[in-house]
């Protein structure tokens, strides 16, 4: 192992998922000389982090950490990035895998300069998935302002319509190509890192919390989009029913997490997320009241504990120990009553608020879409790493619920594991 300092030419690493963990693994491996294929199912890299307004530990906007990573990718010829790419199957054994990758068409080629003429010409609108469907975007669109690769994408819904022609005519750079078809490619790699991340738990499944029935009940990730300057409200936190500025907001912790009927585990970050959200609201609305209903606040580690203490000192942030188990909507004004038992006083509390945020947890993406590959999962759909066997590893939130810091630490470690698989051959 120590004899040859150069990486073996044959061994390359497939990293599945271009979120913060995948980016980290890919870069760490590539920057010590290994060839990496980084594939991402979305049209852009950055994953969940790119959807946040600010992220821990320093409450930076996502551009802060992601841009430097994108820069490193651009500068590194050893990383091949494939977007709109999904793994169909992985066959073989450690050191010798064959992965079949499905590539979906973007209908926009590398000539694109992001001039935006196609979007102006396009008349069809589609729900903006980046903003969890809270607004619409043109069917020819840039996924978000800082999308990397910086290239437009066209939804297949306008294929064969008048809009197809309009977009094509509007493009001065011959960047639009509707002849693109879905295709499969095959990659030979030595190890595979699954950094497939997480999805917000489907809050409509939590029957008693009213999401989907009452407009002014949103999820924590939706709040991130509302607070983000590139979000549907340009960073204003407004309640959905009447776009009013909320004067009171309730946070429902453990919405679907630590619940055997939903996600039996703690999603790790939702407590910190809600505390962070309290800062979003407090800096925008100095008089607004924030109610946080919790079972117990989990603020792991010194820094998070300090952050929690700081929020606790704010008189306008009220902590109620007791899980919200029932919600009611006032049909006249859209206000929501949250009902919980304050377990400290032993009283049932009914608090009327303008808006409710469900602190929904994270479900591993693969829980609902198991790939055709020899992976081991726990009951909740997180990848169980088999270091003895090696070859394939789960990193970041595909492996366990985690924040950005621990995901990056984990992803760095997994980069080493992937390299070890190659070198052992």
Partner 1 sequence: MSVEYLVEPDLDFINQVVGLGGDSLKKCFQCATCSVVCPISPENKPFPRKEMIAASWGLKDKLVGNMDIWLCHNCGDCSTLCPRGANPGDVLGAIRSYAISEYATPKKLAQAVNDPKKLPLLIGIPAIIFFVLALITTMFGDNLTALLGELWTHGVDKNIIAHTNFISTWFVDLVFVPLSIWCTVIFALGLKRFLADMYIDAVTQGKVQNPELNIKELLKSVPIVLLRIIKHEKFNECGENQERTTAHMMVLFSFISLLMVTGIFFFVLYLFHIPGPYHQYNPVKILANIAGISLIIGSALLIKNRLAQKDQVSAYKDWYLIGLVLGLGLTGMATEMARLAGSASVCYFTYYIHLIFVFNLIAFLPFSKMAHFVYRTIAMIYAEYAQRQ
Cis before 57? omega within 30: yes
Q: Rule CB under 8 A: which of 189-228 touch partner 1?
A: 208
Q: Which is nearer to partner 1, 170 or 266 (CB)?
A: 266
Candidate list 99, 193, 249, 340; residue touching partner 1; CB under 8 A: 340
Minimum distance between the CB of residue 402 and partner 1, rounded to whole angstroms?
22
Minimum distance between the CB of residue 327 and partner 1, rounded to whole angstroms?
10
Cα 133 from Cα 124, distance rounded (Å): 15
**Segment 327-332 long-range contacts (CB within 8 Å, at least 24 positions apart):** 327/208, 327/209, 327/210, 327/214, 327/217, 327/356, 329/210, 329/213, 329/214, 329/216
Candidate list 344, 369, 384, 416; residue touching partner 1; CB under 8 A: 344
* Beta bridge partner(s), residue 358: 219, 252
Q: Which is nearer to partner 1, 68 or 325 (CB)?
A: 325
User: Judged by CB under 8 A, does residue 184 bind partner 1?
Assistant: no
User: Judged by CB under 8 A, does residue 73 bind partner 1?
Assistant: no
Contacts with partner 1, 252-271, as mask; x by CB under 8 A: --x---xxxxx---------
Cα 396 from Cα 409, distance rounded (Å): 8
User: Judged by CB under 8 A, does residue 306 bind partner 1?
Assistant: no
Minimum distance between the CB of residue 337 and partner 1, rounded to whole angstroms?
12
Minimum distance between the CB of residue 361 and partner 1, rounded to whole angstroms?
12
Cα 405 from Cα 344, distance rounded (Å): 34
User: Judged by CB under 8 A, does residue 352 bind partner 1?
Assistant: no
Candidate list 36, 49, 195, 324; residue touching partner 1; CB under 8 A: 324
Q: Which is nearer to partner 1, 261 or 333 (CB)?
A: 261
User: Judged by CB under 8 A, does residue 276 bind partner 1?
Assistant: no
Minimum distance between the CB of residue 207 and partner 1, rounded to whole angstroms?
9
Q: Are 398 and 22 in contact (CB under 8 A)?
A: no
Tokens of 189: 């790699």
Q: Are 179 and 89 in contact (CB under 8 A)?
A: no
Q: Which is nearer to partner 1, 98 or 347 (CB)?
A: 347
Q: Could you give the count of Cα atoms lying within 13 Å of 261 in the half-sphere of its Cβ?
A: 8
Candidate list 343, 380, 384, 416; residue touching partner 1; CB under 8 A: 343
User: Judged by CB under 8 A, does residue 341 bind partner 1?
Assistant: yes
User: Judged by CB under 8 A, does residue 286 bind partner 1?
Assistant: no
Apex 162 CA angle, 131 and 158, nearest 5: 35
Cis before 149? omega within 30: yes
Cα 215 from Cα 371, distance rounded (Å): 35
Tokens of 358: 């469900």
The site for partner 1, by CB under 8 A, has a size of: 22
Contact positions toward partner 1, by CB under 8 A?
A: 208, 254, 258-262, 295, 322-326, 339-341, 343-348
């Amino acid at each position: 192992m120590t004899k040859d300092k150069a990486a073996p030419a044959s061994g390359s690493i497939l990293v599945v998922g271009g979120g913060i963990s995948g980016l980290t693994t890919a870069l760490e491996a590539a920057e010590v000389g290994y060839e990496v294929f980084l594939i991402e199912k979305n049209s852009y890299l950055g994953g969940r982090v790119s959807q946040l307004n600010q992220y821990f530990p320093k409450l930076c906007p996502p551009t802060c950490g992601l841009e430097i990573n994108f820069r490193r990718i651009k500068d590194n010829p050893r990383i091949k990035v494939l977007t709109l790419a999904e793994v169909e199957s992985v066959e073989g054994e450690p050191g010798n895998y064959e992965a079949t990758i499905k590539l979906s068409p973007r209908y926009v080629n590398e000539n694109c300069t992001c001039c935006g003429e196609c979007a102006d010409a396009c008349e069809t609108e589609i729900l903006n998935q980046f903003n969890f469907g809270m607004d619409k975007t043109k069917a020819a669109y840039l996924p978000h302002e800082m999308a990397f690769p910086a290239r437009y994408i066209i939804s297949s819904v306008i294929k064969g319509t008048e809009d197809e022609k309009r977009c094509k005519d509007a493009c001065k750079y011959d960047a639009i190509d509707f002849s693109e078809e879905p295709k499969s490619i095959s990659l030979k790699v030595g190890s595979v890192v699954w950094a497939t991340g997480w999805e917000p738990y489907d809050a409509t499944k939590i029957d008693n919390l009213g999401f989907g029935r009452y407009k002014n009940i949103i999820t924590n990730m939706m709040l991130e989009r509302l607070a983000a300057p590139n979000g549907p409200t340009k960073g204003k936190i407004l309640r959905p029913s009447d776009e009013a500025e909320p004067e009171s907001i309730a946070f429902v912790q453990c919405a679907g997490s630590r619940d055997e009927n939903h996600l039996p585990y703690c999603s790790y970050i939702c407590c910190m997320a809600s505390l962070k959200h309290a800062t979003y609201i407090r800096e925008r609305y100095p008089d607004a009241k924030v109610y946080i209903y919790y079972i117990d606040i989990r603020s792991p580690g010194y820094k998070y504990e300090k952050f929690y203490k700081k929020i606790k000192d704010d008189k306008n942030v009220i902590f109620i120990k007791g899980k919200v188990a029932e919600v009611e909507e006032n049909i006249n004004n859209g206000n929501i009553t949250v009902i919980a038992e304050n377990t400290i006083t032993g009283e049932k509390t009914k608090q009327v608020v303008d808006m409710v945020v469900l602190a929904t947890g994270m479900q591993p993406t693969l829980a609902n879409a198991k790939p055709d590959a020899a992976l081991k999962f726990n009951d909740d759909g997180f990848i169980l790493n088999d270091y003895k066997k090696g070859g394939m590893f789960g990193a970041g939130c595909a492996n366990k619920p985690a924040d950005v810091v621990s995901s990056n630490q984990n992803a760095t470690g997994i980069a080493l594991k992937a390299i070890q698989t190659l070198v052992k051959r």
